[in-house]
C-alpha cells in the first residue's frame, strides 16, 4: 500500500488532478479512495490563444479621404470613438495573414481594452492623424482587442 501511495503522489506532482475521498463515517474500516484524472495532450491540442496582431495606421475622427487596400475599422476606446485608417495588419501568431483574421470581424468595429496607461494614450486627441502601431490579442467573437503595446509615429523608424 505505501508503494502505491508513493506512485500516486509522484503522478500528482506531474500535473495530474487528484481527488481524495475520505472513508465514510459509518464504515470506519473502509479504505480511503483516491481517484486520479489525467488530462491528455489531445485535450489541449484544440486550445488556441486569440490571434496576436500588429496594426499600422492612423486614428481619425472621420472616414479617410484616401483609399487603402484595407477598409477602415471603427474603434471605441472607453467613450472615445475613432476611425482606424489601416495601412497594414500583421499577424504575430498563427499561420493566417493579419488581414484575413481581421476580415472575420463583422461588423468592422473593435473595442480596445487594456492597461489604463495605453488606453489614455489612445484616447488623447493629440494622437489624431498621427501614424501609430498598435499590438494586441484580438477576440473575434466579442470584437475586442486586448492592447498590449502602442507606439507613436515619431518613435518608429520606418523602413
Same domain, yes or no: 14 and 65: no
Same domain, yes or no: 39 and 56: no
User: Which pLDDT belongs to residue 95?
Assistant: 87
Same domain, yes or no: 72 and 11: no
Same domain, yes or no: 61 and 112: yes
Q: Could you tell me the residue range of the domain that residue 112 belongs to?
A: 52-155
State which of 44, 61, 78 marks the end of a domain: 44
Same domain, yes or no: 72 and 149: yes
Same domain, yes or no: 13 and 62: no
**How many domains in the chain?**
2
User: Taking the chain, what is the end-to-end CA distance rounded to the nearest angstrom?
Assistant: 68
Say yes or no to pLDDT of 24 above 60.
no
Name which residue leads in pLDDT, 95 or 115: 115
Apex 49 CA angle, 37 and 96, nearest 5:
135
pLDDT band at 43 (very low <50, low <70, confident <90, very high): low
Which residues are registered as beta bridge partners of 110? 75
If you ran DSSP here, which 8-state letter would residue 138 be given? E
Say yes or no to pLDDT of 139 above 50.
yes
Same domain, yes or no: 151 and 113: yes
User: Of 33-37, 87-91, 103-107, 125-129, which gets the smallest average pLDDT?
Assistant: 33-37
With a pLDDT cut of 70, the percent of the chain lying above it is 65
pLDDT band at 149 (very low <50, low <70, confident <90, very high): very high
Q: How many CB atoms lie within 10 A of CB 159?
A: 3
Same domain, yes or no: 22 and 67: no
Q: What is the mean pLDDT of residues 109-115?
A: 97
Same domain, yes or no: 33 and 80: no
User: Of 19-23, 71-75, 112-116, which gets the smallest average pLDDT?
Assistant: 19-23
Same domain, yes or no: 28 and 7: yes
Same domain, yes or no: 130 and 79: yes
Amino acid at each position: 500500500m505505501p508503494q502505491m501511495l508513493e506512485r500516486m503522489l509522484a503522478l500528482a506532482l506531474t500535473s495530474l488532478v487528484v481527488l481524495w475521498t475520505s472513508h465514510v463515517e459509518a464504515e470506519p474500516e473502509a479504505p480511503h479512495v483516491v481517484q486520479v484524472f489525467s488530462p491528455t495532450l489531445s485535450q489541449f491540442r484544440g486550445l488556441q490563444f486569440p490571434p496576436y496582431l500588429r496594426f499600422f495606421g492612423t486614428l481619425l475622427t472621420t472616414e479617410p479621404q484616401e483609399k487603402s487596400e484595407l477598409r477602415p475599422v471603427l474603434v471605441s476606446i472607453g467613450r472615445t470613438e475613432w476611425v482606424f485608417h489601416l495601412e497594414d495588419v500583421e499577424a504575430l501568431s498563427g499561420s493566417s495573414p493579419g488581414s484575413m483574421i481581421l476580415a472575420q470581424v463583422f461588423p468592422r468595429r473593435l473595442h480596445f481594452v487594456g492597461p489604463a496607461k495605453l488606453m489614455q494614450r489612445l484616447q488623447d486627441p493629440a494622437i489624431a492623424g498621427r501614424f501609430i502601431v498598435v499590438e494586441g490579442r484580438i477576440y473575434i467573437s466579442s470584437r475586442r482587442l486586448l492592447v498590449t503595446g502602442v507606439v507613436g509615429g515619431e518613435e518608429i523608424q520606418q523602413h
